Amino acid sequence: MKISIEPLSAAAGSRITDSVSAFYGRHRLSNRLPISFETLAAVCGLCVLCALCVNSSGCAAHRPIADRSQPPPAQPSETPAGKAESAKKSTDVPEPAANPPAVSPTPKKNKAPILPAPSGYIEEGNASWYGTPFHGRHASNGEVYDMYKLTAAHRTLPFETMVRVTNLNNGKSTTVRITDRGPFVENRIIDLSLAAAREIELVGPGVARVRVEVLGNVDPTAGFFTAQVGAFRDAGNAERLRDRLSASYSPIFIQQYDSSDGVLYRVRVGKISGEDAARQFSDHLHDREGFTPFVTRLDEAAPAGGIR
């Protein structure tokens, strides 16, 4: 069985409403024109069809869903006075010293030498942004999310990583600090705060192709990672998927997340050292199990299985 993580849609309900409205327009009742037997039969048949569609919609609850699928607010509020400058200062990246102090070639006892981070870490893909109702809620790193600060959510970059995000459609850039995990939506690589989205003119379009460049001495590929294979509103569905996979994979976590749409139960598989190995494992899950996994970092402050 192939399980894909896609946002839930109300398209079926819309199609039923449109059909009823169209039928009513064609067969409007009036005092002058009586209803024929054929017309009455058609109305009864349509009512039965609507009832069947409503009953069958309950099956959608068994499918995994995307964590964050709400559209951005149509008219975001203005940035409060003094917020813009303080937000920029919070993402300043210190320049390297002109004459850095000499480092002893011999590391201290019982302490491993610090390896240089890989330079030029760049990725390109789609960016989105998020504001309310996440404004004022806790981000994945524990701090309260402020949509007027220059921050962002990323699935794998370490917290506190500074990144430059460039809108490839207009060349405008902004520097943000990684404080959150996401977006758990296909074909997106980063979720910007409202303030950051405004700086690169992303608010209107909602989604744009960007380039993400890591700044500072950070190794984004080191650490432990896992593959998220589903997110459910029903804890029982998450537990059944965990039990089915536990015969072949270990460890498997269910992480509870208090989203804006209610509690979600994320099913995550594996604890893998290194991002490259995690992506290979994700490909294996796709080929063998039919999942469309999201590779995400396992953070020390919020271990898998915990509540964000």
Domain that holds residue 234: 224-297
CATH of the domain at 229: 3.30.70.1070
Number of domains in the chain: 2
User: Are residues 87 and 196 both part of a single domain?
Assistant: yes
Residues 87 and 213 in one domain: yes
> Quick check: is 134 in a domain?
yes
Per the prediction, the chain carries an average pLDDT of 75
- Condensed to tens digits (0 to 9), the pLDDT of residues 88-140 reads 556 655 444 444 444 444 444 444 443 444 557 899 999 999 998 899 999 99
pTM of the model: 0.65
Please check whether residues 189 and 263 belong to one and the same domain: no
Return all residues near 123 (Cβ < 8 A) that are at least 6 apart: 189, 211, 212
Domain end call among 202, 220, 238:
220
The tens digit of pLDDT for each residue in 219-278 reads: 999 999 999 999 999 999 999 999 999 999 999 999 998 877 789 999 999 999 999 999
**Nearest partner of 190 among 223, 226, 242, 150, judged by Cα:** 150
73 within some domain: yes
The whole-number average pLDDT for the span 188-207 is 97
Is residue 2 one of the residues assigned to a domain? no
In a domain, 133, yes or no: yes
Q: Which residues of 8-20 are buried (b: 16+ CB within 10 A; e: fewer)?
A: eeeeeeeebeeee
pLDDT the model gives residue 1: 41
In a domain, 111, yes or no: no
At which of 186, 220, 254 does a domain end? 220
3-state SS, residue 214 = strand
> Which of 153, 185, 220 marks a domain boundary?
220
Examine residue 24 and state whether it is found in any structural domain, yes or no.
no
Is the distance from CB of 190 to CB of 127 less than 8 angstroms?
Answer: yes
215 with 123, same domain? Answer: yes
Neighbours of 300 (CB within 10 A): 10
pLDDT of 57 higher than 60: no
Q: Are residues 71 and 195 in the same domain?
A: yes
Q: Is residue 27 part of a domain?
A: no
Buried-exposed string 70-91: b where 16+ CB fall within 10 A, e elsewhere: eebbeebeeeeeeeeeebeeeb
Same domain, 74 and 143: yes
* CATH code (residue 198): 2.40.40.10
Do 136 and 156 sit in the same domain of this protein? yes
Q: What angle do CA 212, 210, 207 make, to 5 degrees?
A: 130
